[in-house]
C-alpha cells in the first residue's frame, strides 16, 4: 500500500562518510528531465539488455506480507535499508516485519536469525543495515518501546547479539544514517543532537565514527556539521555515504547535499538547489558520479548535471522496463562492485535492480 512509502520516508527523516582525489562535482545543478533521459537510452549491452533496465528481484508490486521464497513469491513489509555483502548476497532491513532478510542470488529470500539480546529483547523496526567484511551485521532500529530510548544499535557477530543505545546519547542524540568505510570496514553514523539551552531547542547535525572511545562509549571523533548558508530547515543528517575517494557525502534533512573532505573541508555542493526528498545517496569509486534516490526517482549527478534515470510512473503499476518505461519508487540503494548495477528497495514492497550499462 502506498501509505507505507510515506512511513518509510518518515523513518528516514524522523527515525530517519588513501588520500582524497579531486571531487569533480560542480556547484551548479543543471537538471535534465525524464524525456531527455529517455532519449539517452541506447542498446550497447553485451547480453542484449538496454541500459537503464529495471528488473524486480524479489517481492511483488504492492503486495505486502512475510514470506521467504524465490522471486515474486517472497513478501516484505516496508523493506528499507540495503547492503551488499562481499559474497554478492543482499541484506535487507524489513522494517515493519521487524526482520533482517537476505537474498541469495539470483532471487532466493530467507530470514537472518537475529537472536534476542541478553535482556531478552528482540529486534524492532530495523531501518539501516551494514555488513562488515568479517560478517558482523550492524543494524539501527527504532526502539521506542524499550526504556523510551530514541534509537538503538544492534550488532550481531558470530551468532551473538549485542544491542544498546550509547550511554551519552540516550536522549540528546538520534541516529538516522549508517555508512560503511569502503577500505577498513569502519562504520559511521549520523543524525541530530537536540539540546535545550535556556529552554529553547538547539539542533546540531552530526556524524561520528561508530567505535568505542577511551571510556568505552560508542561514538568517536564526533563532527558537528555546519549549517549551510540559507538553510533554515531541521538540521539533521538523514543520509550518509563514505566514498572511495575518502569523501563523506552528507544529506541534510533529505534536501541538501554536502561533502566533507579528509582534510576537514565542508562544502554545500549545490547551494542554489534544494532537492525534494533525498532518501539515499551513493557514489562511484572515483567520486565523479553521485546517485541519489529523490522522491522515489533515481538520478545521477555528473559535473553538476542532474540526470533522471528512472522513477515513479504510477500508471505502469510497478512494471519493470527501460528508463521512463519502468515504474519505480526507490528508497535505499547499493552499488555493485563493478558499478554496473544499483540494487534498491522499492516503496511498493519489492527489491529491484537498475542495470546502468
pLDDT (tens place) for every residue of the chain, 357 residues total: 444 544 454 344 434 433 333 343 333 344 445 444 443 444 444 567 899 999 999 999 999 999 999 999 999 999 999 999 989 999 999 999 999 999 999 999 999 999 998 888 899 999 999 999 889 999 998 765 444 556 788 999 988 988 876 665 667 888 899 999 998 878 999 999 988 898 888 999 999 998 877 776 778 899 999 999 999 899 999 999 999 999 999 999 999 999 999 999 999 999 988 798 999 999 999 999 999 999 999 999 999 999 999 999 989 999 999 999 999 999 999 999 999 999 999 999 999 999 999
All structural domains of the chain, each given as residue ranges with its CATH number in brackets, are 3-355 (2.130.10.10)
DSSP state of 226: P
Place of cell 535499508: 81
Question: Partners of 321 in the beta sheet?
Answer: 54
Instruction: Report how far residue 30's alpha carbon sits from residue 357's, in angstroms, rounded to the nearest whole number.
Output: 23
Instruction: Report how far residue 98's alpha carbon sits from residue 226's, in angstroms, rounded to the nearest whole number.
Output: 34
How many CB atoms neighbour CB 222 within 10 A? 15
Q: What is the pLDDT of residue 35?
A: 44
**H/E segment holding residue 11:** helix 3-13
Establish how many alpha carbons lie within 13 A of residue 102's alpha carbon, considering only the half-sphere containing its beta carbon.
14
Q: What is the pLDDT of residue 337?
A: 94
Reading the block at residue 77, the C-alpha cell is 513489509
Instruction: Report how far residue 166's alpha carbon sits from residue 152's, in angstroms, rounded to the nearest whole number.
Output: 8
Q: What is the pLDDT of residue 37?
A: 42
**H/E segment holding residue 210:** strand 202-212
Q: What is the pLDDT of residue 170?
A: 60
Contact between residue 309 and residue 323 where contact means Cβ atoms under 8 Å apart: yes
Q: What is the pLDDT of residue 20?
A: 37
Amino acid at each position: 500500500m502506498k501509505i507505507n512509502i510515506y512511513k518509510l520516508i518518515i523513518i528516514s527523516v524522523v527515525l530517519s562518510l588513501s588520500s582524497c582525489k579531486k571531487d569533480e562535482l560542480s556547484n551548479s545543478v543543471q537538471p535534465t528531465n525524464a524525456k531527455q533521459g529517455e532519449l539517452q537510452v541506447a542498446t550497447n549491452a553485451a547480453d542484449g539488455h538496454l541500459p537503464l533496465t529495471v528488473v524486480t528481484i524479489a517481492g511483488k508490486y504492492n503486495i505486502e506480507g512475510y514470506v521467504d521464497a524465490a522471486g515474486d513469491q517472497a513478501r516484505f513489509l516496508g523493506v528499507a535499508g540495503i547492503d551488499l555483502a562481499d559474497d554478492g548476497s543482499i541484506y535487507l532491513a524489513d522494517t515493519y516485519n521487524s526482520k533482517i532478510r537476505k537474498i541469495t542470488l539470483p532471487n532466493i529470500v530467507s530470514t537472518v536469525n537475529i537472536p534476542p539480546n541478553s535482556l531478552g529483547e528482540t529486534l524492532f523496526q530495523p531501518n539501516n543495515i551494514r555488513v562488515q567484511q568479517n560478517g558482523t551485521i550492524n543494524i539501527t532500529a527504532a526502539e521506542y518501546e524499550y526504556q523510551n530510548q530514541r534509537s538503538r544499535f544492534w550488532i550481531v557477530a558470530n551468532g551473538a547479539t549485542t544491542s544498546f543505545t550509547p550511554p551519552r546519547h540516550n536522549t540528546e542524540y538520534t541516529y538516522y544514517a549508517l555508512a560503511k568505510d569502503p577500505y577498513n570496514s569502519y562504520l559511521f553514523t549520523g543524525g541530530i543532537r537536540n539540546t535545550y539551552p535556556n529552554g529553547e531547542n538547539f539542533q546540531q547535525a552530526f556524524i561520528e565514527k561508530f567505535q568505542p572511545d577511551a571510556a568505552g562509549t560508542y561514538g568517536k571523533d564526533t563532527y558537528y556539521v555546519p549549517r549551510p548558508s540559507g538553510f533554515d530547515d531541521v538540521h539533521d543528517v538523514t543520509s550518509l555515504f563514505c566514498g572511495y575517494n575518502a569523501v563523506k557525502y552528507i544529506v541534510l534533512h533529505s534536501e541538501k547535499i554536502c561533502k566533507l573532505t579528509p582534510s576537514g573541508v565542508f562544502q554545500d555542493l549545490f547551494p542554489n538547489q534544494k532537492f525534494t526528498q533525498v532518501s539515499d545517496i551513493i557514489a562511484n569509486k572515483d567520486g565523479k558520479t553521485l546517485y541519489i534516490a529523490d522522491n522515489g526517482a533515481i538520478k545521477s549527478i555528473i559535473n553538476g548535471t542532474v540526470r533522471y534515470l528512472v522513477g515513479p510512473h504510477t500508471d505502469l503499476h510497478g512494471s519493470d522496463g527501460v528508463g521512463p518505461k519502468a515504474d519505480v519508487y526507490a528508497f535505499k540503494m547499493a552499488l555493485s562492485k563493478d558499478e554496473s548495477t544499483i540494487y534498491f528497495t522499492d516503496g511498493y514492497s519489492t527489491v529491484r535492480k537498475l542495470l546502468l550499462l
